[in-house]
Chains A and B, each alone.
Chain A
Amino acid sequence: EDQVTQSPEALRLQEGESSSLNCSYTVSGLRGLFWYRQDPGKGPEFLFTLYSAGEEKEKERLKATLTKKESFLHITAPKPEDSATYLCAVRYNTDKLIFGTGTRLQVFP
């Protein structure tokens, strides 16, 4: 069964056009939700960890939030260099991460 679902699969934005990416999860006993950025042909780059509902983390134009069933990655006034695939992953009963399939973001000037 799908434990981590990301939407949309792909997103095209104009530079400066803010939007949000969604990550919903069905696991119980969440022990961490992680956001990563991945550029083509490279390994995932760590962005944020969220542990409990209501928690928020920010970094430059990115802000991650967490509820009991989902997480959002808000992108404010994106730039072309923000174009990448954004991956969400959860950890619950062991130390392995369970990843979603990602959202491919393209930001056009």
Chain B
Amino acid sequence: DTGVSQNPRHKITKRGQNVTFRCDPISEHNRLYWYRQTLGQGPEFLTYFQNEAQLEKSRLLSDRFSAERPKGSFSTLEIQRTEQGDSAMYLCASSPEAQGGSSYEQYFGPGTRLTVT
């Protein structure tokens, strides 16, 4: 078990460019989550998938942001027309599907640090 992996680990881009991040969850986990974290803050929820279905999106996820999980395995998060305010750590997490009201813990990847210049 290799855990959650994210690529790239670091991305520097110029304002106005598009960027795409990839997340590979733990293989037996069917839920996948994206969070954003800025310095000194806790992670903020962006969106999550159960298999290929996107079940919830945060109001933080403007129309410049789009996430996909086409085959229920890896996921991509794309940011179009990046702005300096998009600079943050983008975290991916995965968990098994919760059953009977129980809540399974989410396991996080190492994150992708985005810097928009």
Q: What is the interface of chain A, defined by CB distance below 8 A to chain B?
A: 4, 31-32, 34, 36, 41-46, 49, 51, 87, 89, 91, 94-102
* Beta-carbon nearest neighbor of B47 in chain A: A96
Give chain A's interface secondary structure class.
Answer: loop
How far, in whole Å, are A100 and B103 apart by their CA atoms in the complex?
Answer: 18
* B44: contacting residue among A31, A42, A95, A99, CB under 8 A: A99
Q: What 4 A-B pairs are tightest by C-beta distance, nearest first?
A: A99-B42, A32-B103, A43-B108, A96-B45
**Is B45 a contact partner of A46 (Cβ separation < 8 A)?**
no
**Is A46 a contact partner of B103 (Cβ separation < 8 A)?**
no
Q: Which residues of B contact A42 (CB under 8 A)?
A: 110-111
Q: Does B28 contact A (CB under 8 A)?
A: no
Q: Which residues of A contact B113 (CB under 8 A)?
A: 41
Q: Which residues of B contact A98 (CB under 8 A)?
A: 45
Q: Which residues of A contact B111 (CB under 8 A)?
A: 41-43
Q: Does B107 contact A (CB under 8 A)?
A: yes
**Is B98 a contact partner of A95 (Cβ separation < 8 A)?**
yes
A-B contacts besides A34-B105, A96-B33, 16 pairs, CB < 8 Å = A4-B42, A31-B101, A32-B102, A41-B113, A43-B108, A44-B91, A45-B108, A46-B107, A49-B105, A87-B42, A87-B43, A94-B56, A95-B31, A95-B98, A97-B33, A97-B35
